[in-house]
A and B are shown apart, each in its own frame.
Chain A
Amino acid sequence: QVQLKETGPGLVQPTQTLSITCTVSGFSLTSYYMQWVRQTPGKGLEWMGFIRSGGSTEYNSEFKSRLSISRDTSKNQVFLKMNSLKTEDTGVYYCAREGRGGFDYWGQGVMVTVSS
């Protein structure tokens, strides 16, 4: 069955870079777009960006200058990297698959705290 699981550092210091991995099973990354969404106390749910089945990316302009999404199809993994972290970036980060009707499967999310 379709499964997605995010793994990340938990705690990141301000100004540092966040790296999160989304490991998927039950489908191929070459057949679906993969999305990243976060949920913060200040702004609620925010769409961050996606990587297409062909490997190209699109980003929310809110994050564009510091966000990067990539993947390793051989490992069934999608990666999110965001630099210059601020305390306002504290929240839960989700990966989600985009099916024919929008985001159809989500991971449980990974909590990230930005603090010194």
Chain B
Amino acid sequence: DIQMTQSPSFLSASVGDRVTINCKASQNINRYLNWYQQKLGEAPKLLIYNANSLQTGIPSRFSGSGSGTDFTLTISSLQPEDVATYFCLQHNSWPYTFGAGTKLELK
């Protein structure tokens, strides 16, 4: 199985900060990496699909990069509504696997 190592587990940042979250795959997953935002009690929301494609309706401050084994989610200017848990998903091969999540809080 492909292991997804996500870092950091916790992140505290101020409004306006640039924030980066990383996922590293244990083997090549090409660009089949998605990023999700999950707020308490809500359905996970797709932010970025296939490494760098912004899902419709998602603010442009969210971006994704990477290919192969190393991927990054960037929030260019943190907003209060971005407080949430973020996780990655590899959908290159079965079993699909997830990162452990990053809890993002406001400083």
A residues contacting B by CB (< 8 A) are 4, 35, 37, 44-47, 58, 60-62, 94, 96, 98, 101-109
Contact = CB atoms under 8 A, between A and B. Distances in A.
A46 B89 CA distance: 10
Contact of B91 (A46, A60, A103, A108): A103
Please report whether the interface of chain A is mostly helix, strand, loop or mixed according to DSSP: strand
Given A44-B100, A101-B53, A104-B49, A62 B95 contact: yes
Contacts of B50: 101-102
B49 A102 contact: yes
B44 A102 contact: no
Contacts of A60: 94-95
Instruction: Say which size band chain B's interface belongs to.
Output: 20 to 34
A106 B43 CA distance: 6
Nearest to B98: A45
Interface in B26-55: 32, 34, 41-46, 49-50, 53, 55
A104 B55 contact: yes
B43 A108 contact: yes
